[in-house]
Chains A and B, each alone.
Chain A
Amino acid sequence: MTAGATDAFSPGKTPTFQESAKVSLADSQLRRNIGKAAKGIREKRAAAVAELPDWQELREAGRAIKERTLRHLDDYLLQLEESVQNAGGHVHWARDADEANRIIAGIAKQHDADEVVKVKSIATDETKLNEHLESEGIKAHETDLAELIIQLANETSSHILVPAIHKNRAEIREIFMRELDVKDLSDEPSDLTEVARLYLRKKFLSAKVGVSGANFGVAETGTVCVVESEGNGRMCTTLPPVLVTLMGIEKIIPTWQDFEVYMQLLPRSSTAERMNPYTSFWTGVSGEAGDGPQEFHLVLLDNGRTDVLADEVGRQALNCIRCSACLNACPVYERTGGHAYNSVYPGPIGAILTPQLVGIGKPGPDSLPYASSLCGACYEVCPVKINIPEVLIHLRGKVIRKKQSAGLTGKLHPENVAMQAMAKTFSDPSLYESAQRLARIGQWPLARSGAIHSLPGELSGWTRSRDIKPIPDQTFREWWRERRGS
């Protein structure tokens, strides 16, 4: 997907998952790259998780803390605001993406910055901060290796944790040679990272403003936390004199103690590590002596989150700690990759988060809850026990009810007509038995040669790759009655 292309968070219409999946399923390089990566990380995660005898209790604690926090979110947010201000930071409230982008651009302009360095942040992808800054004449430099790769390739992320998972090192070598004007580069990971390191080091030293997202924000202390692997985040949060953090309002945790739970759950679930290499915490400004920013701004982002919170079943999506275990476990994601979801949040979590954040009633996002076979592998690995299949089904109900309420066009849709007819049939055993007999008679043109190779209409999708056996001469209930002699 090209950077700047319309996605679920843009105003325009986006393709459905079905339409986009056709493209990515046909991409053999992508299938190979993602298939290999997902399988590898899946196996490693399972091993890392198996080391902890209390994993299930940890998951339950992770769920319970988030649930309690969301129940009192208003209180905790005000507490966070006060804590950050007491530590010398500024707090901004952003109702939506535009407001967040304007606030951040305004801070950069106050400091005459024409460039910012960025820690990997999905919240800023959601608001399309880079594009907005560009329009204001400010260049945003992504400093996470994978984010840098896709920024240079002018593409979008396809994975929550590994944005360039769809690229292999040969492809990365080509991007670096082309975009960074490097000659004689091998595709050895150490050579590739060295090129990125040399390029990024200059940016870290020159930028006046750093921009980050947040994995967690602690209400009681005002501390913001970023969990990362490469150290680029540490650079961005300590070198520039000004630091701006964009944080979704659901990223809050009440106390320091809560890290005990999440720092066990997150690294094992995301990178299959006992502990990730870099965990940065900052509380307000650094003061005179220490490293770190002299000015700190925390921008709290709603952008649809309070609407999600209002949905009793759907709100559990806000528990997400962005580990990406559900993506790696998902058999659909493994084959289609992330771009098919047309959202900065791909995979199972994206399928429940995106349509809720942007609202039901748009064809593209409305197709996402259907991008699942409901196999439950996501729920099984989720470190905070989000029942993703349950939310998918719940959202499908909302999508259909919205369509049905859209007057005659919704009611006359072939699927709706068929479903209504079947519901009526199943509601009455005698109608149901008549339908069984009718289907047996009606199928003969299709079933003359044994297996059925072609079905009409909406069902043709089935017979494109699968046969179906014809309805046999006797139903089970006919056998039962015959046997009972009635």
Chain B
Amino acid sequence: MRVALFVACFNDTLYPETGIATVKLLERLGVAVEFPEEQTCCGQMHFNTGYQREAIPLVRRFVETFSPYDAIVAPTGSCVGMVRELYPMAAKLARDEKLAEQVEALIPKVFELSEFLVKKLGVEDVGAYYPHRVTFHPTCHSLRMLGVGDAPQKLLRNVKGIDLVELPQAEECCGFGGTFAVKNAETSTAMLSDKIRHIQDTGAEVCAAGDNSCLMHIGGGLNRQQAGVKTVHLAEILASEATEEAE
């Protein structure tokens, strides 16, 4: 099985540690992951903001880059949601039947990280060690677009040393929503303020999620308020090992 990593442009640029953790985790589980360097951005920001014609070349690039692989893993539910739910719409908009066929063939091969681990590899215990009090925000696209269910929680429950606490109103959006956070900054902030309150109610020192875009939003608010809670991507928790922690 040839497995490719789609790291996503904002992880590549802003959160390289998440990509690095994903590679280390997959290699630890015996998956030889490749990183095709032709990859850039899935086109979600453009597409969801309405710049859909502009997103079509990015859709084509993604399809060409990743079609040769048997599985594509991404440490982001949101970008996988873009591929799975909206690439067909993009191909239709492009009036390109060949692209539509390629998209259809590609979709079943694209996985969000927790999905790939639990549903594709059948692994729930990845041998991680993370001695911290953690609460998990499930993120809307993983939850409602991809239907990953409790795959992330299954993985987290098996992490040694973790003190996993349930987040109240976990399924409610944090208010990020891509350009929504800027275009409707006030409403976005009102949603964030409730999310932060629920996080703080758990007494956790770490808020984890499968998407750095949501975490950038939540973490940005926590940092501004000096809340003393940090945000960490699921991949980094799963990649943590006892030896590393002891260093």
Contacts and interface: CB of A to CB of B under 8 A. Distances in A.
Contacts of A191: none
Nearest to A400: B50
B131 interface: no
11 contacts: A335-B187, A376-B141, A396-B50, A397-B93, A401-B52, A429-B37, A462-B182, A466-B217, A469-B14, A471-B13, A476-B16
B184 A21 contact: yes
A400 B183 CA distance: 14
A21 B37 CA distance: 43
A313, A332, A481, most chain B CB atoms within 10 A: A332
B189 A426 contact: no
Contacts of A478: 16
A373 B177 contact: yes
Going nearest first, the 8 A-B pairs with the smallest beta carbon separation are A373-B177, A466-B220, A461-B185, A400-B50, A396-B50, A375-B173, A376-B144, A476-B19
Nearest to B231: A469
Interface stretch (B4-12, B107-115, B120-128, B154-162): B4-12
Interface stretch (A113-121, A138-146, A213-221, A416-424): A416-424
Contacts of A396: 48-50
Contacts of B187: 21, 25, 332, 335-336, 371
A399 interface: yes
Q: For the side of the interface on B, what is the size category?
A: 35 or more
Interface of B: 7, 9, 11-14, 16-17, 19-20, 23, 35, 37-41, 43, 45-55, 57-58, 61, 85-86, 89, 93, 140-141, 143-145, 171-173, 175-192, 216-217, 219-221, 223-224
A429 B40 contact: yes
Contacts of A332: 184, 187, 191
A433 to B, nearest CB: 9
B180 A373 contact: yes
Interface residues of A, number: 66
Contacts of B43: 426
A475 B216 contact: no
B192 A466 contact: yes
A423 B46 contact: yes
B184 A17 contact: yes
B20 A476 contact: yes
Interface in A388-429: 390, 393-394, 396-401, 415-416, 419-420, 422-423, 425-429
B16 A474 contact: yes
A409 B13 CA distance: 32
A444 to B, nearest CB: 16
A467 B223 contact: yes
B184 A377 contact: no
A376 B140 contact: yes
Nearest to B190: A335
Given A373-B177, A400-B49, A422-B46, A465 B16 contact: no
Given A25-B190, A332-B191, A475-B12, A373 B173 contact: yes
B14 A471 contact: yes
Contact of B37 (A415, A427, A471, A477): A477
Contacts of A471: 13-14
Interface string A241-254: 00000000000000
A426 B38 CA distance: 10
Contacts of A481: 37
A426 B62 CA distance: 11
Contact of B184 (A371, A390, A420, A477): A371
A159 to B, nearest CB: 17
A282 interface: no
A479 B20 contact: yes
A171 to B, nearest CB: 22
Given A371-B187, A432-B41, 7 more contacts: A18-B186, A331-B173, A332-B187, A376-B141, A377-B172, A461-B182, A477-B12
B224 A466 contact: yes
A22 interface: yes
B54 A423 contact: yes
A426 B40 contact: yes
Nearest to A464: B185
A62 to B, nearest CB: 19
B172 A423 contact: no
Nearest to A39: B169
Contacts of B49: 396, 400, 415, 419
Contacts of A25: 186-187, 190
Contacts of B182: 458-459, 461-462
A396 B206 CA distance: 35
A374 interface: yes
A373 B140 contact: yes
B191 A335 contact: yes
Nearest to B178: A374
A372 interface: yes
